[in-house]
Amino acid sequence: MSAAADRPSATRAGLVILALAMGGFAIGTTEFAAMSLLPFYAADFAISEPVAAHAVSVYALGVVIGAPILALFGASWPRRRLLVWLMAAIAIANAATVLAPTYPTLLLFRFLSGVPHGAYFGVAALVAASLMPERRAAAASYVMAGLAVATVIGAPFANWLGLHVGWRVAFGGVAGIAAATALALRILAPLQPVEGVRSLRGEMRALSHPQVLLTLGAGAVGFGGLFAVYSFLAPVLSEYTGAAPGTIPWVFAIFGIGILAGNLVGGWMADRALRRSAIGLLAWSAVFLALFAFAAGNIWLLMPVCFAIGMGGGLGPILQVRLMDVAGEAQTMAAALHHAAFNIANALGPWLAGLAITAGMGWTAPGWVGLTLALGGIAILLAAFALERRNEGRVVVATSP
């Protein structure tokens, strides 16, 4: 039977992609809620906020470690089964977070919550792309849209729950959404039997493929600019812009709407011209990250700039499809590593911006750091494309009469 015949109906495919996006919403909420809930669990465990911030770092560490390991050992599983188990693990780890009796146990459960993150998004993007093969980037962007919606709705609502009900309730809600996602995928997603023989050695080849490594490097560096600004946006607004406290959540929501819009537009662009879209979106980010330094003093100028910087998140589905094109048989590993690179950017951007602020560059430093990282991402992609063209030229010469 042909692949087209095996494909589910358009309605069912849409429901599967919606379920995949719901899983992305659960992951995005637990990731970003840990930042917005930080003051509440710091007070609960009687620790300082800088110490409590380690819970954010260990989550990112879990993503970086878990993505390649789970991709490696899950590559021989049917993708539906792997997705269901990954979502079940996320539900269990977040439920355990609700019950954490001490801060060290909270750190352990936050680390475990991050371990399935990269593998889930990687495999979910592959499943979505298989359901919409003629619009792969758009399909990947729909899955990532769940994470983007979490920055607009999930994290702010978690903050509200922390203020009025308690921070543990927010993580309990994430556990419930993850469990519902696992059930929905078990019912709706096609089984998709394993494609050929996926050996551990074959998946490990992704780690040595130059185009895979360069694409991951572009994500780890280029994405860092967005996080450099996002992580320091609250103190910039309060200390430099002079914004009223009630205004700050609205600016974060505008930033999140930009991320959502960027994901949808980036997927649409990549299906038409992937290389130009990748370079163009990083150039867009570079321009508005530079403008951040000039707009930071005025709240009305800063809001549209934050929306535009958020749109730089559209690089995610573009690089995801790029990895699908260059990874060969190591699709699962490459797709999962994409989100490990994303979390490296999540650590790299804020770290460099913090160093710049501490060095005396002031609260506008995140914009200049972000500009540098965006230009670095462009340089890596240009090198990747030049190497690819050179290799294509060699193939043409070798095969010509």
Beta carbons within 8 Å of 344's beta carbon, 6+ residues apart: 64, 220
Report whether pLDDT(49) > 70.
no
The pLDDT-based confidence of 349 (bands split at 50, 70, 90) is confident
Q: Do the domain assignments include residue 8?
A: no
CATH at 35: 1.20.1250.20
* Average confidence score pLDDT of the chain: 84
Residue identified by tokens 């494609």 is 195
Same domain? 104 vs 149: yes
Give the highest mean pLDDT range of 121-125, 197-201, 383-387.
383-387
pLDDT of residue 202: 61
Domain boundary, last residue among 139, 169, 197: 197
Q: Which domain holds residue 211?
A: 199-391
Tally of domains within the chain:
2
DSSP 163-201: HHT-HHHHHHHHHHHHHHHHHHHHHHS------S---HH
Same domain? 334 vs 204: yes
Domain boundary, last residue among 141, 165, 197: 197
Helix, strand, coil tally for the chain in percent (to 5)? 85, 0, 15
**What beta strand segments (E) does 352-392 contain?**
none
Same domain? 274 vs 191: no
Contacts of 11-19 with C-beta under 8 Å, sequence gap 24+, read 12/188, 13/131, 13/132, 15/184, 15/188, 16/127, 16/128, 16/131, 16/185, 16/188, 16/189, 16/190, 17/128, 17/131, 17/132, 17/139, 17/142, 17/143, 19/181, 19/184, 19/185, 19/188, 19/189
Q: Do the domain assignments include residue 400?
A: no
Same domain? 211 vs 353: yes
Q: Do the domain assignments include residue 398?
A: no
Domain boundary, last residue among 197, 226, 242: 197
Same domain? 193 vs 243: no
For 82, other C-beta atoms within 10 Å of its C-beta total: 23
Same domain? 135 vs 226: no
Half-sphere exposure of 345 (CA within 13 A, CB side): 28
Same domain? 321 vs 190: no
Mean pLDDT value of segment 42-55:
79
Same domain? 176 vs 225: no
- Among 217-226, 311-320, 388-397, where is mean pLDDT lowest? 388-397
Q: Is 11 exposed, middle or buried (0-12, 13-18, 19+ CB in 10 A)?
A: exposed
Q: Do the domain assignments include residue 267?
A: yes
Same domain? 224 vs 156: no
DSSP 125-172: HHHHHHHSGGGHHHHHHHHHHHHHHIIIIIHHHHHHHHHHT-HHHHHH
Q: Do the domain assignments include residue 310?
A: yes
Same domain? 193 vs 213: no
d(CA 202, CA 331): 10
Task: Determine contact, residues 259/148, Cβ cutoff 8 Å.
Answer: yes
Same domain? 209 vs 189: no
Task: Determine contact, residues 271/136, Cβ cutoff 8 Å.
Answer: yes
Q: Do the domain assignments include residue 399?
A: no
Same domain? 211 vs 324: yes
Task: Determine contact, residues 58/85, Cβ cutoff 8 Å.
Answer: no
- pLDDT tens track for 111-132: 999 999 988 988 888 888 888 8
